Amino acid sequence: MEVFKDLNSQKNKDFETLLNSQLSKTKIEEGKIINGVVTKLTPKFCFLFVEGLKSEPVLDRKEVESLNLIDKIKEGSKIPVLLEKIEDKLGNVIVSATKAQKIKGWETLVACYEKNEPIMGKIISKIKGGVCVEHIDSGSLMFCPGSQISDKPLNASELSHLMNEPQKFALIKLDKLRGAGPPSL
């Protein structure tokens, strides 16, 4: 074992400078959205490279397919993912593309709400008291009361011409406390 007595030597200072310059480039924190670069695609998995992590994050290919990204992804593509755990019990990095999309979608809705801008959505189903609307850009689900659709009660057959058609909606209420639950239109 080697004991360093002279910590102020030029070699030690050079090493400290190099180490600090590498560590300060990337700030990796759990709970943040980071960009992963696709390094390999297999029939079951999508392997990513994230600078600053000691192992490769792996996404299940089904998760990527559910986001309709599979046609756009090839080696070298960037995917935004939420860094859930830097290292689990087995040493794996845990990331989620689905959660990253939901967070970005919520941030988009908040920005539109604050600016009082309409959003594009489509009615996907009729539910008690109104309809469920999907935000076209992020896939976030929202509730639109039936009273905002028409001045008289509508049944499912009267809504058929509005189903799955892109339309403008105004956000009138956001409820973050309900777990980024459905905003009201």
Q: Provide the CATH number for the domain around residue 65.
A: 2.40.50.140
Range of the domain at 79: 33-101
- pLDDT tens digits, residue range 121-141? 999 988 888 888 988 877 788
pLDDT at 180 over 50: no
In a domain, 86, yes or no: yes
Reading the block at residue 137, the tokens are: 């850009």
Which of 68, 101, 134 represents a domain boundary (last residue)? Answer: 101
Query: How many distinct structural domains can be found in the chain?
Result: 2
- pLDDT tens digits, residue range 3-34? 556 667 787 788 778 767 665 456 778 888 88
pLDDT class of 179 with cuts at 50, 70, 90: very low
Query: Taking a C-beta distance cutoff of 8 angstroms, is the pair 60, 44 a contact?
Result: yes
In a domain, 13, yes or no: no
Distances (CA, A) of 80 to 93, 154, 182: 15, 40, 22
What single DSSP character describes residue 184?
A: B
Question: In this predicted structure, what is the pLDDT of residue 145?
Answer: 86
Task: Share the mean pLDDT of the chain.
Answer: 81
